[in-house]
A and B are shown apart, each in its own frame.
Chain A
Amino acid sequence: MKPVFMTYTKKDLINLAVCMVLSVLVIPTFITTEYWYTSILIPWLCLALATIGQQVVMGYTGQLALGAAGFMAAGAFAMFNLILRVPDLGFVGSLIVSGLIAAAFGILFGLPSLKVRGIYLMVATLASQFFIIWMIDKFGWFKNYDSSGIITAQDIVILGKPFTTPLAMYFVCLAVTTVLTLLAMNMARGSTGRNWMAVRDMDIAAESMGVSLLKTKVQAFAISAFYCGVAGALFAFCYLKSLEPVAFDIKLSFKILFMCILGGLGTINGAFIGAAFILLFPVLLNAVGNNVFHGAIDATIISSIEQVIFGGLMIIFMIYEPLGMAKLWENLKQKLSLKLQSSNVKNLKSSLSKKS
């Protein structure tokens, strides 16, 4: 299909319009309970954004990185300090600058990717995870010398207007996520994304065709960390409403890795599907535990079962569909359209035979 605007085709614009109508008009009219905004929609958008960051480096560029939560922490604490110390920047300005700060960390810890790959790179990125969390924890300046360990996030104020209700925060997250998702789609489809994928599929071949490995990999790490940083800032300010380094530990990194892989490597919509699945499944499991077994099953057992299921799904997807849920969705659409076509053909045939 021919692109209409930048790299977006007509179909994309229709999809965007549908999504916008759904998220701006339908959801706010039908969902009125705060729980849905504060515990599901807002974290979903934030984590989906972080997963897009993970996608850029892992799904598109093929570099096994495991430090998303570290970059998220960098973004979140950069945001806190920027609002505290440079109030003139405003919320949006701070968000962009904190993303850039996270990107600087991304470049620094992405440098080993020039030399190593696979599990070696994973270990190098683990260093970023542990180092960033340790740094924030140990240097009081980052936490404004707060001794309690948990800092309350400042209120979000954009152009003098406070955004403090769950619905308002949802709209803030939605706006940021939409803009960054569109940008990511554009990058992934343009020459940037083609370079990423060339490096992923065969880095040596890509290099011999004139793709600069240095530029491509560092760029991927920077963009990935930027997304994670912005996502981390939103995660802290809209969802947690507090800042503590522990919230961004290695478990969150693994969670984002799972969202990325189960959602579908190398897809943008996979990030949203994966994040939704990993977030909603525990909610569902808890609901089943409470309503079907009436709390007879201990909460710790339920969370263990959840872990077993996530791990099991990971194995099953690796064996049967390494491209994840986004691919399943694609296959389903294809099958449906094939069925539709064949039924159209049948209708046509029967109408023809009736005529004759």
Chain B
Amino acid sequence: MVDELLFFMEVVVGGLLAGTMYSLVALGFVLIFKASATFNFSQGAMVFFSVLAFCGFMQDFNIPFVLAFILAALLMVVVGLCTERLVLRPLMNASEDTVLMATIGLGYVLEGLAQAAWGVEVRRLDLGIGDFPVPWIADNLKLFISALDIFAGLVAALMIIGLFLLFKFTKIGLGLRAVADDAGAASSIGIPLKHIMLLVWSAAGVVALVAGCMWGARAGVQFALVDLALKALPVLIIGGFSSIPGAIVGGLIIGATEKVLEVYIGPFFGGAIEGWAPYVLAIFFLLYRPEGLFGEKIIRRV
């Protein structure tokens, strides 16, 4: 009995920590949505693009770890700059759906560019933290929990705290919130919309890079990351599109549910229900609480 409980705990904790990885992808999405009410479908592609560039800098040019990370982050700032100028500004007054489709196009461009520049083979990314159970926890609590999962959880927590402080206590954060609330009114009182957009896209790019590092260390840096990142969408639906805590809680819920379902119900259906379970969970949320757990209620005017 105790063993079973321990095993259940292990599954749940493993799922929760893996869920933080989904949260990290969802976080970049929320940042952009909060500031510009844009659904950025290319967030997954940004994850792939940034981490592939990071690996490329390290492995093809032998640039040291920290410098390569900074270079990749700078690259994401450039991507943000180009996106703002070439995609978002011309579509300033376009409808939501049009911008969404444009970001699907943007995702294609980023995926293509990344593969053209760095090749299509799977790259290994070594963060110096192994994907194996931590001995100390295994000995004392009898739980097998991967060190990488714990590290990802810590990084996610740090990023959330950082972003929370940024949004709550800095002038930039105030500007961000103002733009999110009403872009027109914000620009009329002199908040530079262009800079805010650039800042948000760069921040989302850096978040994508961090998320990519975590995923890359686990599953290898490869195209499949884009499909994995799609799972951030149900996370967002559960958490609400405009809420940073929502992204975290959503990720945790998806991560834990997915693992529990896979372990306890999956075997009856031949396994691999992870692939669609999050989406079906999202549908149930949509039916009963379309705005998500933490999102603002969507009111449409006629």
Q: Which residues of A contact B (CB under 8 A)?
A: 62, 64, 112, 115-116, 118-120, 122-124, 126-127, 130-131, 134, 137-139, 202, 204-205, 250, 254, 257, 261, 300-301, 304-315, 318-319, 322
Chain A residues in 8 Å Cβ range of B106: 311, 315
* B64 at the A interface (CB under 8 A): no
| Bound Cα distance from A300 to B116, whole angstroms | 8
* B6 at the A interface (CB under 8 A): no
With A115-B286, A123-B234, A205-B302 in contact, do A134 and B272 touch (Cβ < 8 Å)? yes
Distance in angstroms from B231 CB to nearest chain A CB is 10
Judge whether A123 and B282 touch: CB under 8 Å: yes
Chain A residues in 8 Å Cβ range of B161: none
Distance in angstroms from A309 CB to nearest chain B CB is 8
Judge whether B286 and A124 touch: CB under 8 Å: yes
Chain B residues in 8 Å Cβ range of A254: 104
Choice from B41, B270, B279 contacting A119 with Cβ under 8 Å: B41
- Which 7 residue pairs of A and B lie closest in terms of their CB atoms, listed nearest first? A311-B108, A314-B105, A307-B112, A127-B279, A308-B112, A311-B109, A130-B276
Chain B residues in 8 Å Cβ range of A131: 276, 279-280
Judge whether B279 and A116 touch: CB under 8 Å: no
Q: Which residues of B contact A (CB under 8 A)?
A: 39, 41, 86-87, 90-91, 94, 96-102, 104-113, 115-116, 119-120, 227, 230, 233-234, 237, 269-273, 275-276, 279-280, 282-283, 286-287, 290, 300, 302
Judge whether A318 and B102 touch: CB under 8 Å: yes
Would you mind naming 15 contact pairs between A and B with Cβ atoms under 8 Å apart? A119-B39, A120-B237, A122-B233, A123-B279, A123-B282, A126-B233, A130-B275, A134-B275, A138-B269, A250-B227, A300-B119, A311-B111, A311-B112, A315-B87, A319-B90
Given A127-B282, A205-B302, A312-B105, 15 more pairs with CB closer than 8 A: A112-B286, A123-B234, A123-B279, A124-B286, A130-B275, A250-B230, A307-B108, A307-B112, A311-B104, A311-B107, A313-B105, A314-B101, A315-B102, A319-B91, A319-B94
| Bound Cα distance from A235 to B159, whole angstroms | 47
With A64-B100, A300-B120, A314-B104 in contact, do A322 and B234 touch (Cβ < 8 Å)? no
| Bound Cα distance from A127 to B285, whole angstroms | 13
Chain B residues in 8 Å Cβ range of A311: 104-112
Judge whether B112 and A306 touch: CB under 8 Å: yes
| Bound Cα distance from A314 to B104, whole angstroms | 8
| Bound Cα distance from A131 to B279, whole angstroms | 9
Judge whether B290 and A120 touch: CB under 8 Å: yes
Choice from A112, A130, A307 contacting B111 with Cβ under 8 Å: A307
With A261-B101, A318-B91 in contact, do A134 and B112 touch (Cβ < 8 Å)? no
Chain A residues in 8 Å Cβ range of B94: 318-319, 322
| Bound Cα distance from A134 to B261, whole angstroms | 15
Chain A residues in 8 Å Cβ range of B282: 123-124, 127
Chain A residues in 8 Å Cβ range of B111: 304, 307, 311
A202 — nearest CB in chain B belongs to which residue? B302
Judge whether A305 and B101 touch: CB under 8 Å: no
A63 — nearest CB in chain B belongs to which residue? B97
Chain A residues in 8 Å Cβ range of B302: 202, 204-205
Choice from A126, A300, A313 contacting B115 with Cβ under 8 Å: A300
Chain A residues in 8 Å Cβ range of B101: 261, 314, 318
A121 — nearest CB in chain B belongs to which residue? B286
Judge whether A130 and B279 touch: CB under 8 Å: yes
With A311-B107, A314-B102 in contact, do A124 and B279 touch (Cβ < 8 Å)? yes
| Bound Cα distance from A126 to B41, whole angstroms | 13
Distance in angstroms from A130 CB to nearest chain B CB is 4
Most buried by B among A122, A123, A309: A123
Judge whether A318 and B279 touch: CB under 8 Å: no
| Bound Cα distance from A34 to B194, whole angstroms | 55
With A112-B287, A120-B237 in contact, do A138 and B272 touch (Cβ < 8 Å)? yes
Chain B residues in 8 Å Cβ range of A118: 39, 96-97, 100
Choice from A127, A139, A305, A313 contacting B276 with Cβ under 8 Å: A127
Chain A residues in 8 Å Cβ range of B269: 138
Judge whether B100 and A127 touch: CB under 8 Å: no
Judge whether A315 and B275 touch: CB under 8 Å: no
Distance in angstroms from A142 CB to nearest chain B CB is 12
Chain A residues in 8 Å Cβ range of B109: 307-308, 311-312, 315
Chain A residues in 8 Å Cβ range of B280: 127, 131
Distance in angstroms from A109 CB to nearest chain B CB is 8
Chain A residues in 8 Å Cβ range of B90: 319
| Bound Cα distance from A119 to B95, whole angstroms | 13
With A120-B290, A315-B105, A322-B98 in contact, do A112 and B283 touch (Cβ < 8 Å)? yes
Most buried by B among A137, A138, A257: A138
Judge whether A310 and B286 touch: CB under 8 Å: no
B90 — nearest CB in chain A belongs to which residue? A319
